[in-house]
Amino acid sequence: MFIGDSPIHINKDAKIAELVVMPGDPLRAKYIAENFLEEAKLVTDIRGMYGFTGKYKGKEVTIMAHGMGMPSASIYVFELIHYFKVKKIIRIGTCGAVSSKAEIGDIILTRKIYSESNFAYTYSNYVGNVVEANLELNKTILGVADSLDQKVLYGMTTTMDVFGPYIDFERVLGRIPKEYEILAEEMEAFGLIHVANLYNVMATTLMTVVDSKFTSVVLSPHDRETKLNQMITLALESIVK
């Protein structure tokens, strides 16, 4: 395996903190840096994938975007871990509810992730379909959520290789073993967690439900910003613990 002396997709001179919050969207990374961090500075923008480092409650935190899908997310996670020695990662994103227990606007904390993708097999010959987020980090998030009086659903989600709303994802859901109670679907968590677990780095995923198979209702722009801000605050408060 070839691993070069410096990262390809992140500025090699970037000042990256040991604590990282990862949205998919580069513009969301910019929004978080400008509205939640102090002394935030752009530290990388290769391929337009923004990374910012600043302070939250006196501790250095990096906000690093990872793009869409497991291949993209895995590149940034690996480079953060291998080249910059990151210790904790919380992915923050959006998801679609596939269980009636998850409602529009709910925040979901992933405990385990199911995927039928070959990603992990290609990456490391892993033949399982389930990976587990870091339990210690999840306990911290649940404790912070309780202190903030924030409702958080804690359970199993699924990562797909395709954007669910654009396919008949009932076909995919129907193949998931019945013993797994899946709350929501998205496109990155399985790959991100798998890579972090390989290198013994604490990682997990927080998601806000923005659509659901049970309703045509979607979050308004105002409600979307409010709910995402709650998730962002929960992630930042937890990452610095």
Q: What are the two backbone dihedrals, phi and then psi, of residue 235, each rounded to the nearest 5 degrees?
A: -65, -45
Burial label, 233 (beta-carbon count in 10 A; 0-12, 13-18, 19+):
middle
- End-to-end CA distance of the chain: give it in Å, rounded: 36
Burial label, 147 (beta-carbon count in 10 A; 0-12, 13-18, 19+):
exposed
The single residue of 13, 45, 149, 211 carrying the catalytic annotation is: 211
Give the largest CA-CA distance in the chain: 49
178 φψ region: left (φ > 0), alpha (ψ -120 to 50), beta (else): alpha
Told to judge if 25 belongs to the known catalytic residues of this protein, a careful annotator would answer no
Enumerate the active-site residues: 211
